[in-house]
């Protein structure tokens, strides 16, 4: 996952809070914050492609993958619109 280079590196208060609450070194806390922001900055399409690839690598077939991804989309920080299995397939395969 590409590191997010935006606000996390300039939010000293957030870094200080994470350092105080976890005991992490400031550079590690900043990197963790950056990774979390990047994770939640994924577009719906990026999320669907990433999760499909992860589940596929774990040996799951598409019949099992699509319902999992559809369920996970509703749990995202900003819930994505519901997508049909056809829309999910089109996102992955074009």
Burial bucket for residue 15 (CB in 10 Å: 0-12, 13-18, 19+): buried
What is the percent of the chain with per-residue pLDDT over 70, rounded to a whole number?
A: 87
| pTM recorded for the entire structure | 0.62
Confidence at 10, pLDDT banded by 50, 70, 90? low
End-to-end, the C-alpha distance of the chain in Å comes to 22
pLDDT at position 4, please?
A: 46
Query: Closest Cα to residue 88, out of 45, 50, 57?
Result: 45
Q: Model confidence over 18-47: pLDDT tens digits?
A: 999 999 999 999 999 989 888 888 889 999
State the pLDDT confidence band at 12, using cuts at 50, 70 and 90.
confident
Q: What average pLDDT does the structure give for the chain? A: 87
Q: Provide the token pair at 16.
A: 């200080």
> HSE-up of 40 (CA within 13 Å, CB side)?
12
Rounded Cα distance, 64 and 20, in Å: 42
């Amino acid at each position: 996952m590409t590191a997010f280079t935006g606000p996390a590196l300039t939010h000293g208060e957030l870094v200080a809070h994470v350092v105080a609450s976890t005991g992490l070194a400031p550079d590690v806390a900043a990197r963790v914050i950056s990774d979390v922001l990047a994770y939640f900055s994924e577009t719906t399409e990026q999320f669907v492609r990433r999760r499909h690839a992860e589940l596929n690598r774990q040996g799951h077939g598409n019949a099992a993958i699509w319902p999992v991804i559809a369920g996970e989309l509703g749990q995202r920080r900003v819930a994505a619109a519901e997508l049909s299995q056809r829309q999910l397939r089109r996102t992955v395969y074009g």
